[in-house]
Structure 1
């Protein structure tokens, strides 16, 4: 069974990043994957201090264990001032290359006004590269306008792009396992 960890990189309740993660989780489960979600709004982490005692904290331990157990990842971040969220960068600081060990990762961003997101994805790619994560070439940016009142993706182009992202992630996981 394929195990995917989805990380919602927004510290905000009801965030668009969480909506994207929920949509991708539904698609991955429908394709037969088992999924865990680590949501930085509900799974609070302390500020990383390079202190080994922090790894004894419940949510830090949970994050590290879920990364180790996963065959692949989805990471979605909002764009804040041209970069990924500080909460996501902080979470990634708790991890190392041996935690990810070349596993594939699908990345997505959310940004308002149809003009943002690419800087957050470039920033995220740079950090993931230093952690030896195999970030997929296909990526997606979701504008807040693509969600309906129930938080579901209602815009066809974005839904298709997210579907492709999920398919490519599962294909990369399968290839890596073979």
Structure 2
């Protein structure tokens, strides 16, 4: 299975990106193919439907999303919503590229939790006809410290992340099996 992870912050050393790197390590430990798209390193022009020629960075994003069986989207929470950088990237993506694919939402907030950004992200995924994983990952103030291996240091957080990633992988498998059966 192929997974595409999109880090939706343009801040260097963003906790949402560090958290997503940990998710990446969990997926790779299961011998899954993982493509990591870091929007801080892959800047995209502002989306406009008028632009018919796609910037090479946009084309790379679209190709990796289309090629994936599952997506993991990570965002910092800004003013109760997703980052503008991630929203801009998602505006380029069409429903045909996400339809029927599992999506795990991940957030890091400066306050207690990033629930508002996760709700907004899941609404966007529904509008793209993706299948939201019933779990999400949210870390907030006090739980955003990471060890040298990138794993969260907060008690219980590591187990909750591993559980959510495990359920996401299982959902992705089930949807891939269903899609393969429907194609026959």
* Same fold, TM-score > 0.5, yes or no: yes
Residues 41-95 of structure 1: per-residue CA shift (max 9 Å, x gap): 111000001134342x111000000001100011111110010001111000001
Structure with higher helix content: 1
Equivalent residue number for residue 109 of structure 1: 107
> Counterpart of 1:39?
38
TM-score w.r.t. length of structure 1:
0.93
2-structure distance, mates of 1:59, 1:141: 28
Q: Distance in 1 between matches of 2:74 and 2:141?
A: 14
Q: Secondary structure at the match of 1:156?
A: coil
Question: Do the aligned residues in 1 keep the contact of 2:100 with 2:175 (CA within 8 Å)?
Answer: no
Task: Write the mapping of 1:62-73 to structure 2, written as runs, cut at 5 A.
Answer: 62-73=60-71
Moved more, 147-156 or 160-169: 147-156
Range that drifts further, 145-154 or 45-54: 145-154
Q: What is the SS of the residue equivalent to 2:9?
A: coil
Gaps of 5+ in 2: 178-184
User: Does 1:24 pair with 2:32?
Assistant: no
Does structure 1 residue 134 correspond to structure 2 residue 131? yes
Q: Who is 1:51 aligned against?
A: 50
Q: Hey, what's the Cα distance between the residues in 1 that align with 2:162 and 2:151?
A: 14
Runs of 4+ in 1 over 4 A off after TM superposition: none
RMSD between superposed Cα atoms in Å: 1.4
**TM-score, structure 2 normalization:** 0.90
- The equivalent residue for 2:172 is 173
